[in-house]
A = this chain, B = another copy of it.
Amino acid sequence: MQIAIPLFDRFAPLDAVGPYQVLAALPGAELIFISERARGVSDSSGALTLRADATYADVPHPDVILVPGGFGVDDHLAPGPLQDWLLAADQTSTWTTSVCTGALILAAAGLLAGREATTNWQAKEELARRGIKVRDERYVFDGKYATAAGVSAGIDMALALAARIAGDKVAQGIQLGIEYDPQPPFNAGSPETAPPEIVAALRSGSRFNR
């Protein structure tokens, strides 16, 4: 089972690596990071560089597609190599998925038309403007499409995806393997629970971490 994660400049690292850590533990899974050419791909700070080992052309028919988000999403909302690859690869994928603002890329490519989906809380209006039925959920499955909320939500979505692919017991084993028993020190992870002034600060500032 081939699982392809496209990388682009200014991607959000945890969007890609959270699900990677989960899905790489699936029996028989072959994970591969790809880009328009094999190269190191950096996040928005430039301090983290993950290697794309293959090109889009090298991986035409992955079983699972996982598109991360990040500031760099804005560079891939128009037709181009990533959208071309997505449209072709989606024709034969078993699962087409996104984390965070990666959903905007899927939507821009037309892959979420008529579907329910979710994305980063700060990108929900933008996703809705693209005609998608946006749900306030940690992750949404609609047919073969799965979309996760912001950044860390990719871990939850990937575990749910692992369960659909390999069964609950395998997914639970993976969860225990990564000791995913989350205990955040604050209850500030969603705009519903974070202090209002924190929500306001993020809304008014840069869309940091997306």
A contact set with B: CB distance below 8 Å: 12-14, 17-18, 20-21, 24-25, 30-33, 40, 43, 45, 47-51, 53, 100, 120-121, 138, 149-153, 155-156, 159-160, 163, 168-169, 171-186, 188-191, 193-195, 197-199, 201-202, 208-210
Contacts and interface: CB of A to CB of B under 8 A. Distances in A.
A44 B14 CA distance: 18
Given A175-B184, A188-B175, A209-B174, A21 B151 contact: yes
Contacts of A149: 179, 181
A63 to B, nearest CB: 15
Count identical subunits in the complex.
Answer: 2
Task: Enumerate the 5 nearest inter-chain pairs by beta-carbon distance, A residue then B residue, closest first.
Answer: A150-B179, A181-B189, A177-B209, A182-B182, A172-B188
A150 B178 contact: yes
Contacts of A21: 12-14, 151, 209
A181 B20 contact: no
B198 A180 contact: no
A156 B25 CA distance: 22
17 contacts: A14-B20, A24-B48, A49-B53, A138-B183, A150-B179, A152-B181, A155-B182, A156-B182, A159-B184, A159-B186, A172-B188, A172-B195, A172-B198, A175-B188, A176-B190, A176-B194, A177-B208
A33 B18 contact: no
A14 to B, nearest CB: 4
Contacts of A191: 176
B45 A51 contact: no
